[in-house]
Amino acid sequence: MDVADLAAQLAAAGVERGGVLALVVAPDLGLGLAVPGHDEAWSIDVPEPAALVQQLEEALAPRWAMWSSGTAVELARDGVRVARSWDAAAVHRLLFGGWRAEPARVWAWVHGLSTVDLPTAGPVDLFNQADDGDEDQPVRADGHLNPAWAAGEWTDDLDRFGPWAHTLAEVARLQHAAIEAVARDADRPLAMRTAIAESTAELLCAELAVDGLPMDRAAMEALVSGYVGPRPRSPQEANELRDERDEQVLRHVPEGVRFDLRSPSQVKSMLRMVGVEVPDTRAWRLEGLREVHPLVDALLTWRKAERVQTTFGYGWLDENLGADGRFRGEWSASDGAAGRMTASAGLHNMPADLRGGVVAEPGHVFVRADLGQIEPRVLAAVSGDRTLAAATQADDLYAPVAAELGVDRATAKVAVLGAMYGQTTGEGARALVGLRRSYPVAMAYLDAADRAAQVGTDLRTYGGRLVRMGSAALGEPGEPGSIGEREARSRAAARGRYGRNAMVQGAAAELFKVWAVTVRAHGRAIDARVVLCLHDELLVHVPAEHADAAAALVDDALQEAAARWAPDRSVRFLADTSVIPTWADAKP
């Protein structure tokens, strides 16, 4: 393969720096390339397709269109980290909401085809008599993708590589037009930037999955042992250790009385026996009763150990922690709802007490950065409330808000967060009157989202993501399938609370991802790599000699990201950044 000749052909077809180039990869077999709006496609037989991608990356620096982050994962496994992408699945979720974004569904949506009964691959029989048409073509006569191709059979024949890439190029072209329509018709001018950031975030997710999180097995096993005891040598010993943990709770009830600690109803009965009456056994409710009876404290301690044992114990480590000291899970740049990043294998809900096992490799440190008071700052930006934006200039936003409302800081914080979450009772709710008076633009923004969501109207975030609210049509009382008026109001209120919060959380997720991918891009020069994205927190792994530079880079990247995401710069965003050897050393 003459790379220079191929690059020249692609350049002649219109691929230039940042131009879209559709890519499909079959490891060890070859790859397919196509350019949106161009008839020609390339089927390339090459034993190391990732190496060819790397060469084209260096020669052309295109924006690689991919069906999903699965392609980026394959490349990352071979050491190839491309700079730009157009991820068809990520853009689909942005445009149309939800999680499902397989090629057949993505193709159908951009072509206005029904997705109720997408064609599926399988033999023709009594229940499946659809004619796929020409099996050598990726698109059927009815306009849908050939299900065999969509299921991966395009890899069976090298001649199919190019046509499959051409199909992807067509999707990218139509998605690009749809994003432009959202920017224009839905008044979401940042939609294109969001689509690019979401696509790049999927590249980051692929790298997070392949690289893994640095973890010290000995340190982590010591932490686990502190909760559940030493690693059991047999199932019998595991049962004995479990009984010992249970006994630390049951010794506080009368002798001879036994309760199943894993049954909420029996735990309530156990608490009642010692004079503690509670409507439920939620941890936050029991926390305030620790001093009432030693049983409560023992129960909460047991619960923490039980969670470690069942979810974050030795089996968890064995399954996910590699011999190279890297803990790996799958990552996605969108949860299919408001758009927050997600991770499997407990990476997003690891107990704080286990963070001491997340240790930088020898000669390295972590740079940890956590966005400060991100939700109200985002609300100020997306709503355009100038008074609230002025409050964001303070390091502690809640101080000027408290002064404005004439309440203490704690009440001001509860009021602001309550407004975004739809709180209707308590001190925070009473302070809402002051919020509406002092910050009418921000409150009107939230109220508008609430009203729209209550009647089932879909929403679009600041960056253009569709947040599906579903239908509010539940029938008239008494009709089959209808619900009562009280239940209908309750559901509508819940949708409203979700809608007002999604407009803030979704926008915050968009800003966070712009920040994360900016750190990814600038960090390459000093080998600083993002190894964890947790809600509003970044963890970057970097050689110790570059620690100060990486910390400055992370802070500068936030300002760069904020300037792109909120161009008028009226809102101040800040992060608490520190250089640490282990994740546990970060300030809470």
Instruction: State whether 489 and 573 are in the same domain.
Output: no
Mean pLDDT for the stretch of residues 433-460: 95
pTM score: 0.92
Shared domain for 399 and 365, answered yes or no, is no
Judge whether 19 lies within some domain: yes
- Is the confidence at residue 538, as pLDDT, over 70? yes
CATH number at residue 114: 3.30.420
Do residues 544 and 526 make contact, with C-beta atoms less than 8 angstroms apart?
no
Last residue in a domain, options 317, 337, 363: 317
* pLDDT, tens digit, 9 for 90 and up, residues 200-231: 999 999 999 999 999 999 999 999 999 999 99
Q: The domain that contains 553 carries what CATH number? A: 3.30.70.370
Beta bridge partners of 260: none
Looking at the structure, do residues 77 and 149 belong to the same domain, yes or no?
yes
Task: State what percent of residues in the chain have pLDDT above 90.
Answer: 83
Q: Average pLDDT, stretch 107-125?
A: 84
Q: Is 28 left (phi over 0), alpha (psi -120 to 50) or beta?
A: left
Q: Which of 45-54, 129-138, 357-366, 512-521 has the lowest mean pLDDT?
A: 129-138
* d(C-alpha 343, C-alpha 537), whole Å: 14
Residues 112 and 29 in one domain: yes
Interval 120-145 mean pLDDT: 71
25 and 166 both lie in a single domain: yes
Q: How confident is the model at residue 331 (pLDDT cuts 50, 70, 90)?
A: very high
Structural domain that includes position 564 = 328-374+509-585
206 assigned to some structural domain: no
The answer on pLDDT for 474 being more than 60 is no
Does position 470 have pLDDT exceeding 90, yes or no? no
**Of 464, 486, 508, which residue is a domain's last?**
508
181 in the same domain as 56? yes
Instruction: Work out the percent of the chain whose per-residue pLDDT is above 70.
Output: 94
65 phi and psi angles, rounded to 5 deg: -80, 130
Burial class (CB in 10 A: 0-12, 13-18, 19+), 102: middle
Average pLDDT, stretch 507-532?
97
Tell me, what's the pLDDT at 131? 52
What total number of domains does the chain contain?
Answer: 4
The arithmetic mean of pLDDT across residues 342-367, rounded, is: 96
Residue ending a domain, among 269, 290, 317, is 317
Residue 190, in any domain of the structure: no
Residue 27 to residues 72, 74, 115, 239, 357, Cα–Cα distance (Å): 12, 8, 30, 45, 35
Q: What is the 3-state secondary structure of 245-259?
A: HHHHHHCCCCCCCCC
pLDDT value at residue 401: 95
Inside any domain, residue 207:
no
Q: What's the angle, vertex CA 365, arms to CA 363 and CA 367, rounded to 5? A: 155
pLDDT of residue 562: 96
- For residues 147 and 252, membership in a common domain is answered with no
**Pair 427, 501 in one domain:** yes
Radius of gyration of the chain (CA): 27
Mean pLDDT of 512-517: 98
Mean pLDDT of the chain: 92
Q: Is residue 198 part of a domain?
A: no
Burial class (CB within 10 angstroms; exposed 0-12, middle 13-18, buried 19+) of 69: buried
pLDDT number for residue 365: 98
What is the Cα–Cα distance from 586 to 40, expressed in whole angstroms? Answer: 53
Confidence of residue 425 (pLDDT cuts 50, 70, 90): low
Claim to verify: residue 337 and residue 248 sit in the same structural domain: no
Average pLDDT over residues 252-281: 91
Whichever domain contains 295, its CATH number is 1.20.1060
- Name the pLDDT band for 134 (thresholds 50, 70, 90): low
C-alpha 486/C-alpha 471 separation (Å) is 17
- For 55-71, what is the mean pLDDT? 96
Q: Residue 196: inside a domain, yes or no?
A: no
